[in-house]
Structure 1
């Protein structure tokens, strides 16, 4: 154990040494060295580790006190969230802008692209396996997934439904198809006439993996009925409290069963303080 020693010279000539413990919590608040006869004036479980300090240096004289101040334990919820915080997040500094919808053939990739359009049809369609990296979308309907291994990394989707729309940030739709959709470091923000930030149903049989993902707005942030996939995994997933019309997430029962929740780790409420995202209480596993 290492100690950071700060010497303070008092008017009465005594020296008090204050130490900050960085490796583990100390329960005893004060320790003193043995007197010249070897009697311990104040004891604790840390005393043996301080013998060297007592034999020499500022603690050598009897009666000097060592005050142990536990180091503050950082709150993991205060750490950087790893999601794009807006359409103009710095991660999109080098994107190429466009206004047309894109249909990706199987095994395609799309990187550093920004699309703003208002057709009401999916802005990007993945007809098979595809990779989207540093892509941002502002439209009435975000991404449509058909089948295959689909990966979204640092993707920001703002979908605003109009009139009779049932807008989704991402929808898996192709009855009988299967695949794996993996979403990392991404944000789904919905407004207007919507269904969900992420929606899969109608006998789409794949799995859904979320890591470092933020959901805000819409009827639901995340909605996957039992007929919308085989499993769902959530790690470091955040829902903006109070932004959803009905609920943050919904795993509908179909024929008496629900989708298998394979992982539920560090799923939390979140809120905005100005342009800063603040993580809140953990959400219990449903």
Structure 2
């Protein structure tokens, strides 16, 4: 007896063997999974495609067995694996209820790429999902002009240096520890005569050791400073901007950890009899820690 075997591919990627037999013979078509368990089956070549149901096609690693009933012949053919859908990228974890990263290992940094080298960004640059740990004593990131940092964390002796332009920090965590004769800052605006706007949102500055402030601007830097949902902890001061360090400052939902500062939560130094213009002072509060939980406390009166 002669059998004519042809190979066909079903639309779902299943390899199927069709047989031509004499009218007196019937073929039993079975669809089996990789363990050999029978998923479905039909008798008759005209119903061969029904042997593998939709349920079977949904299972990768199947094999189709063709067995003419009048002969002891069995052909088992591996089926093309049905590709699993490409998994969607992991979403960024939900931020804390306080609107700031609570630690260097906050879940918002789950997808960062780690590095150990300082970087200098030319105007128009941006960095996202970046982690840098280094100990040079020089600024870890320098923004030479307008730049954006999003979901960036830094652990070093000196955090970010802003030169000029529109500089935006969003979900940034900076922990800086000064050593020896350092005057460490989490962020410092420094370039006499330069101007710009630094906007900090949903960010934390945590300082320790020989420091000046979490955020510091002085020496005739003439720009403006905007803070919204920002936490300051540690250092001589959390926020320090003398009158020659900018034209204006705005604070909304800004928190200072009580008892963590050497001299005071903030300092707006008078220069030539004037202080920086405070354009906004809204929901500025003390904060404290209860274990890993940030607890917001009393309002701080505008100076």
Category of TM-score, reference length = shorter chain: 0.7 to 0.9
Which residue matches 1:250? Answer: 267
Helix, strand or coil at the partner of 1:212: strand
Is the partner of 1:266 in helix, strand or coil? strand
Which residues in structure 2 correspond to 1:1-16 (within 5 Å)? none
TM-score between the two structures when normalised by the length of structure 1 = 0.72
Deviations 1:13-38 (A, max 9, x none): xxxxxxxxxxxxxxxxxxxxxxxxxx
* Aligned residue pair count: 208
2:235 maps to 1:218: yes
1:169 equivalent among 176, 186, 195: 186
Q: Which has the higher contact order (CA 8 A, sep 6+)?
A: 1
Alignment of 1:1-286 (within 5 A): 80-286=97-303
The whole-number CA distance in structure 2 between the counterparts of 1:273 and 1:81 is 14
Kindly state the Cα deviation for residue 102 of structure 1 after the two structures are TM-superposed.
0.5
SS of the residue aligned with 1:170?
A: strand
SS in 1 for 2:272: coil
Give, in whole Å, the separation in 2 of the partners of 1:269 and 1:224: 19
Runs in 1 of length 4+ with deviation above 6 angstroms? none
Q: Deviations over 1:104-127 (max 9, x none)?
A: 000000000000000000000000
Deviation track 1:209-247 (CA, whole Å, cap 9, x = no partner) reads 000000000000000000000000000000000000000
Measured in 2, the distance between the counterparts of 1:278 and 1:88 equals 19
Q: Which has the larger radius of gyration?
A: 2
Cα distance in 1 between the residues matched to 2:295 and 2:213: 22
Q: Which runs of 5+ in 1 are unaligned?
A: 1-78
Q: Once superposed, what is the RMSD of the aligned Cα atoms?
A: 0.7
Q: Deviations over 1:157-178 (max 9, x none)?
A: 0000000000000000000000
2:84 maps to which residue?
none
Q: Secondary structure at the match of 2:108?
A: helix
What TM-score do the two structures reach when normalised by structure 2? Answer: 0.68
